[in-house]
Chains A and B, each alone.
Chain A
Amino acid sequence: NAGVTQTPKFQVLKTGQSMTLQCAQDMNHEYMSWYRQDPGMGLRLIHYSVGAGITDQGEVPNGYNVSRSTTEDFPLRLLSAAPSQTSVYFCASSFRLSYNSPLHFGNGTRLTVT
Chain B
Amino acid sequence: QKEVEQDPGPLSVPEGAIVSLNCTYSNSAFQYFMWYRQYSRKGPELLMYTYSSGNKEDGRFTAQVDKSSKYISLFIRDSQPSDSATYLCAISNTGNQFYFGTGTSLTVIP
Binding site for B on A (CB under 8 A): 4, 35, 40-45, 58-59, 90, 92, 97-103, 105-108
Contact = CB atoms under 8 A, between A and B. Distances in A.
Interface of B: 2, 4, 6, 8, 31-32, 34, 41-46, 49, 51, 88, 92, 94-103
A105 B90 CA distance: 14
B96 A4 contact: no
Contact of B43 (A44, A97, A106): A106
Majority secondary structure of chain A interface residues (helix, strand, loop or mixed): loop
List the 10 closest A-B pairs by CB distance, nearest first. A105-B43, A99-B32, A99-B95, A43-B100, A102-B46, A42-B100, A42-B102, A98-B95, A107-B43, A99-B92
B108 to A, nearest CB: 22
A106 to B, nearest CB: 5
Contacts, number: 57
27 contacts: A40-B8, A40-B102, A42-B2, A42-B4, A42-B99, A42-B100, A42-B102, A43-B44, A43-B88, A45-B97, A97-B95, A99-B31, A99-B34, A99-B49, A99-B92, A100-B32, A100-B49, A100-B51, A100-B95, A102-B46, A102-B49, A103-B44, A103-B46, A107-B42, A107-B43, A108-B41, A108-B43
A9 to B, nearest CB: 9
A44 B6 CA distance: 15
Given A58-B97, A98-B95, A42 B46 contact: no
Given A99-B94, A105-B44, A106-B43, 6 more contacts: A35-B100, A42-B101, A42-B102, A58-B97, A90-B43, A105-B45
Contacts of A92: 43
A101 B34 CA distance: 11
